[in-house]
Structures are given as C-alpha cells and as structure tokens.
Structure 1
Amino acid sequence: MSFIQIIEYKTTRIDEFNALLDSWVEKNAGNRIASRALQTRDRDQENVYLNIVEFPSYEKAMENSDRPETAEFAAQAAALCDGPPVFRNLDLLNERTFQD
C-alpha cells in the first residue's frame, strides 16, 4: 500500500529552503526511496508550505527516515524554518485520476 507523508512548515526563507532541497535532491540522485514529491504553498496562511511525499510503502518511508542523509537534510531545513515541522502520515486508500 502506498504511503504519503505531508510535512507542513513555516519559513520566511523559502528561497534558501528550496536551494537546500534542490541540493539534497541532486545529491541523492539514484538513491531515492520516494516515488513522488510535491511542494505547495498555503494560500490562506502566509509563509506556510507543505511538502507531500509519496512512498511505495510505510516501511520504505521509515527506511528513508532512518537514512543519515535524511537526518542531515532535516536538521539543515529546520534551521531555516520558523518552528518545528508538522508531520502527517497517511496510508493511501484510494486514488483517482481525472482527465476531463
């Protein structure tokens, strides 16, 4: 079963955060566990962002969380945020794609 993690964070330093994220993505090319990632901005709350990351399974997500590279990125990202991130851990029960 696919697993989705939503990470909500607040930052006034989004350009620095994105540079760090781009660097991490490049550094981990060929070693990624996530199958898809989206970065979003909350239209109703200033400087609030959500990353939506999909994994093949909960177990693979936890494997990713246990990687030293992930811990290093999380620590560096936290330094750019205005408080701790909020995590939501979701099992994907149903998926629909609409083309009309």
Structure 2
Amino acid sequence: MTFIQVIDCRTHRADELDRLMDDWVRATRGKRTATHSVVGRDRSDSAHVVEIVEFPSYEEAVRNSHLPETDRAFREMVRVCDTEPTFTDLEVSRDEQFNTGVVRTFVEEVINGRNLGAADGLCTGDYLEHDPSLSSHTVRLAQAKEENQEIMEAFQPVMTIESLIAEGDLVCARLSYTGRHTGAYRGLEPTGREVSGTGHATFRCVDGRIAESWWNWDDLGLLRQIGAVGL
C-alpha cells in the first residue's frame, strides 16, 4: 500500500534547504526507495515549507530512512531549519486521479461500449484527434467519430488499458485490443479473421474533459493480420 510522509519545516533558509534536497537526490541515486517528492511553500508564510514524499509502502519508507545519506541529510535539514521538522506518516486510503478517470470512461463507453455519442460529453467542443491512421493526421470530433465508426464496425474491438500514467493535464495510456474482421474496412471485404494489437495514446484534459488526443497503433500489423499486405 502506498505510503506518504509529510515533512513540515520552518526555515528562513529555503534556498539552502533546496540545495540539501538536490544533494540527497544525487547521493541516493540507485539506493533510495522514494518514488515522488513535492516541496511547497506556504503563500501566507514564506518560512513554512512542506515536503511530501511518496513510497511504495511503509516498509520501503523505513528502508529509505535507514540509508546513511538520508540520516546525513536529515541532520543538515535540522541545521537550516528554525525549529526541528515534524513528520506525519500517512497510509494512503484513496488515490484519485481525475484525468485518468475520464480516460477510462472514454475507453469503456466510447470504444468498448460502441457509443460514439458519449464522446460529446467526454470531450471538449474544440477537441482535436491526432492519428496517422485516419484520413488526416489532425481531425475534429465530428470527423473523428465518423472515421472511427468504420473501424469499430469493421473489427468490433475490445480495448484493454494496460497502464496509465498522469502528469499535469496529460494522461498516457498503454493499450491492447482484440477483435474480429467482420465488416468492410478501407474497401476490404470482411475476412472473419481474429485480430489483436497494441498501441499508445496520450490525452490532454481540460476541466475534466478530453481536449486533445494522440494515437499510435501498429496499423501495418493489423493489415497483415487480415491479409491486406504480405508478411
């Protein structure tokens, strides 16, 4: 279970505290178990600095604290702080990434649910889709729905999200799909062959909706599976 440690400091030497953090990051490369660190200053009190450090588990946090580099960094931190830092240890009970949620809903409702109309509510009015397998590398929502309708009717794909990574307003998805060639596709009559493949997509989200997406698929591999091109 993800574990978070909140370190609360008071210091008028925040720049020096930043340098200490940089030194610790360099010294613990390949050793530390921390996966993410965020440092923030209180807007109403510039001497109030909070660091939030994420670990895969409590046990990994303990391992990290036992590193000699961590002990040395802590002693230096105490030196540059006005008072001794305080620690709050948190077991994460809920971790909600709102942008990943809308991407999961898009995949389940629009693609797997065969409901292209649902995209109207999940995407912004100025949505742009970038996909080299479409008629143009960049299309707006109406055209994207029209062209993807052909793909969905031809292959009845079922998509699986293998992993999602979110950063800022972007969500990157590693995807796989299975299907069967049961409808015409690019003038090719249905073959009844089973198809499968993998791809990646990156989504840009604004106010809980998808504003832009970039798709990359093994389109050549798909055409080979239905016999449209040679091996």
For the aligned pair, the TM-score class normalised by the smaller chain equals: over 0.9
CA shift at 1:45, angstroms? 2.6
Per-residue CA deviation, residues 28-71 of structure 1 (Å, 9 max, x unaligned), is: 11222001110011123331011000001111111111221111
Q: Kindly report which structure 2 residues correspond to 1:7-86, keeping only aligned pairs within 5 A, or say none.
A: 7-86=7-86
Amino acid at match of 1:52: I
Which structure has the higher relative contact order (CA within 8 Å, separation 6+)? 1
Count of aligned residue pairs for this structure pair: 100
Look up the SS of the partner of 2:20 in the other structure: helix
Letter matched to residue 24 of structure 1: W
Regions of 4+ moved over 2 Å:
none
What is the distance in 1 between the residues matched to 2:87 and 2:27? 24
TM-score, normalising length: structure 1? 0.94
- In the alignment, residue 16 of structure 2 is paired with which amino acid? E
Q: Offset of 1:4 from its aligned partner?
A: 0.3
Q: Matches of 1:91 and 1:55 in 2, distance apart?
A: 10
- 3-state DSSP of counterpart to 1:46: strand
Question: Structure 2 CA distance, aligned partners of 1:69 and 1:51?
Answer: 17
Aligned CA-pair RMSD = 1.0
Structure 1: give runs of 5+ residues left out of the alignment. none
Which structure would you say has the larger Rg? 2
Q: Which has the higher strand share?
A: 2
Identity %: 39
